[in-house]
Chain A
Amino acid sequence: MLLSSKQFLMLWNASLETLYMVSVTTVLTVIMGIPLGVLLVVTRPGHILQNKGLYRVVGFLVNATRSIPFPIFIVFVIPLTRFIVHTSVGVTAVIVPLTLAAFVFLARLTETALLEVPHGVVEAAKSMGASNGRIIWRVLLPEAWPGLVMAVTITIITLISYSAMAGAIGGGGLGDLAIRYGYHRYQKDIMWVTVIMLIIVVQLVQSVGDWLVRRHARR
């Protein structure tokens, strides 16, 4: 079974779209999600910047965002998407709901990873006169490094999966191709190829993540 050159071109374009969506979203998600995760940890009662009110509000917003199924979420944030990128359709428009959904997800995973750092280590840094900024940058984040790498890996894989739903607003990408041609038009060969490609990409991402964690653990 060989793909026609037209099908091949479709696949190639879809791959590039997926790559574009996932990479841009990953960067934005990491930039926003990890700081939010840090905020969720350090504002906890008993932590270095404890603030019960802020902790509760942020926690609630994160949960609320995560409660909404992604296809509905895409529609729900259309006004915001229009405001930010001046359009609500296409690959670029998808980046807004994808980032919003993924960064709160990453924030929770970051929170879990940072909570693995024993509190005694934070206290030791405090006892040495370290500032809160130094504790975050030089203690919490480096100590939680393997957990953070895992968190980002899981987030990227989730993003690849979410990006398939982006077809609903003309987002494109591999998942969209599989649904439109493979599912709606019964072109099973396209479906199979996209599914296999997605599996390979996800495996690759997971392997890179695992490798980074292992490299750290060997020290």
Chain B
Amino acid sequence: MPGLISQTLKAGERCQEPRFPALSIFRARKVESGMSFITVESLTKVFGSGSERQRVLKGIDLSIEEGEIFGVIGVSGAGKSTLIRCINRLEAPDSGRITVAGRDILSLRENDLRKARMEMGMIFQSFNLLSSRTAYGNVAFPLEVAGLPKPKIRERVMSLLDMVGLADKADSHPSKLSGGQMQRVGIARALANEPKLLLSDEATSSLDPQSTQGILELIARLQKALKLTVLLITHEMKVITGICDRVAVLDQGRIVEEGRVLDVFTDPKEPATKGFVEEVLKSGGPMLPDGYKPKGRMLRLRFQGEVVSEPLLSDLAALHSVKAVILQAQVDRIKGEPFATMLLDLIGEPRDLGSATDYLTGLGVRVEGITAHAS
């Protein structure tokens, strides 16, 4: 389509940075001060009609700041995929409002929508690479869409492939690549037109744990280097705890909990959130040794920060007349910060147990009494 190409090139000439001529939509507008990079207001979506009517999104409100990695977690069917697909309008919501960089996405006309999409890269669970094209050809596709001349495309594709560590696989077709490599191509392709926003739709869900780790590290690295804002959806806790700054928990079409990852997962309030926390603690509830009879009070402790490296139990025993049986203990990392969970059977006089609990709470440890069941 020569018309389109010459138009975008003309637009590019007016632009201050002629290297990527398509990028104009977001740059042209000043973001109102105090406004988030992405805002979602009262977003609803219904699938089907009549008796098969299904309310997938029941009024979603979200604000995502520039330069953060924001995760939405939910079980399958919670509506998270629909939510992320509404951001670049692969899905048309029924009502609500979405702005990206101050621009009202839902009111964009076809042409402007296509330009806006060029500035929002997206990666997918099934990679969605063109099987008829090589890794090179796949990364070149969005640059062709943007109307870049061939030599520029060549230069840019090679640097993108290099950026994701696949410079030597330029001539490989997707059928010759591993899942992790395919997703790297997907990431290079999504970032080809230098978007400010990366949308990730379950990008690691079909990868093995090792590839998942590699892709997460790559996303985190690129997010820093390119100052990207990342919105990702997942059903895997390790993705959230691995790279996200903030998280929203989506349950049956509603956001039930939202906040900093560390806060949400060290102090989960909603059953849906607790479910995901249990998952990362690799236990479906307290697991006691066979035939174990609690001698005192069963407590679950959660703590993070400096307390993790304190001799907590020794201090507890020394300062208060209590003894602790450790039934379970684990230290995880959330975005690099250690976070400990411990299941104790605390033995002592009720008065001492009370003061011990107060002592722990005073140190910032979250203490929760539980009724345990043998496994």
Contact = CB atoms under 8 A, between A and B. Distances in A.
Interface string B298-317: 00000000000000000000
A134 B145 contact: yes
A217 to B, nearest CB: 9
B4 interface: yes
B199 to A, nearest CB: 8
A131 B2 CA distance: 13
B128 A118 contact: yes
Contact of A130 (B90, B114, B199): B114
B173 interface: yes
B122 A124 contact: yes
B118 A129 contact: yes
Interface in B91-146: 114-118, 120-122, 124, 126, 128-133, 141-142, 144-146
Nearest to A121: B128
Q: Give chain B's interface residue range (CB within 8 Å of chain A).
A: 20 to 34
9 contacts: A120-B124, A121-B130, A124-B124, A125-B141, A128-B189, A129-B22, A130-B141, A131-B1, A219-B173
A127 B117 contact: yes
B88 interface: yes
Smallest CB-CB A-B distances: 10 pairs: A124-B128, A129-B118, A129-B117, A129-B114, A120-B128, A128-B142, A127-B122, A142-B132, A121-B128, A130-B145
Given A124-B129, A124-B189, A126-B117, 19 more contacts: A118-B126, A121-B130, A121-B131, A125-B141, A126-B90, A127-B117, A127-B199, A128-B117, A128-B122, A128-B189, A128-B193, A129-B142, A130-B141, A131-B1, A133-B1, A142-B132, A143-B130, A143-B131, A219-B173
A133 B22 CA distance: 18
A145 interface: yes
Contact of A128 (B4, B118, B173): B118
A138 B145 CA distance: 10
Contact of A142 (B90, B121, B130): B130
A127 B120 contact: yes
Contacts of A131: 1, 4, 114, 145
Nearest to B115: A129
Nearest to B1: A133
A31 B259 CA distance: 58
Interface string B58-77: 00000000000000000000
Contact of B145 (A123, A129, A143): A129
B130 A139 contact: yes
Interface string B317-343: 000000000000000000000000000
Contacts of A127: 88, 90, 117, 120-122, 199
A128 B199 CA distance: 12
Contacts of A219: 173
Contacts of A216: 132
Interface string A185-206: 0000000000000000000000
Nearest to B22: A129
A147 to B, nearest CB: 11
Contacts of B189: 124, 128
A64 B88 CA distance: 40
Contacts of A145: 132
A216 B132 CA distance: 8
A46 B124 CA distance: 19
A200 B133 CA distance: 35
A128 B145 contact: yes
Nearest to A117: B131
A120 B126 contact: yes
Given A127-B122, A131-B1, A121 B173 contact: no
B90 to A, nearest CB: 6
Contacts of B90: 123, 126-127
A121 B22 CA distance: 22
A121 B129 contact: yes
A143 B131 CA distance: 7
